[in-house]
Amino acid sequence: MSQRSAAVEHLDRTGVVHLATTTDDGREVVTLIWAVVVDGVPYIRNGHGAASKWYGRLTRSRAGAFLDGETRHRVRVEHATDEAELAGVDAAYRAKYADDPDSLAFVVAPEARRHTLRVVPEG
């Protein structure tokens, strides 16, 4: 399996993923978040807006990694803004996380939609 497909598979099959970002002074911080895959493309969202620490680190550097045991899936991120793309991401979150309706409502809210990132595996 290629590195790209391994990263996508990990994000698709894992409910809560471990996102590693780097602080300005070089420390690594791991944050637990949700991720979805739509038509083979992974996405993540932040419902807390630009003030969220992990989101700020990730969008400043445009790079991070998802941890899967000893495996590191290095990625870069791009803002997703196309309405049809965002609607697909909403549907994917609703399908994958239907068993947690309170958190789900938060992640498909308009504020979260504005902070949707397309994940591009490196490698």
Q: What is the CATH number for 15? A: 2.30.110.10
Residue 103 CB contacts under 8 Å (≥ 6 apart), including other chains: 34, 97
Domain count, the chain: 1
The residue whose two tokens read 């595996």 is 121
Report the alpha-carbon distance of residue 46 to residue 57 in Å, rounded.
Answer: 12
Residue 123: predicted pLDDT: 65
Q: Which residues of 13-44 are buried (b: 16+ CB within 10 A; e: fewer)?
A: eeeebbbbbbeeeeeeeebebbbbbbeebbbb
pLDDT profile of the chain (123 residues), mean per 10: 76 97 96 97 89 92 95 96 97 97 93 94 82
Owning domain of residue 116: 3-121
Q: How far apart are CA 42 and CA 38, in angstroms?
A: 6
Whether 20 and 86 have beta carbons less than 8 Å apart is answered as no
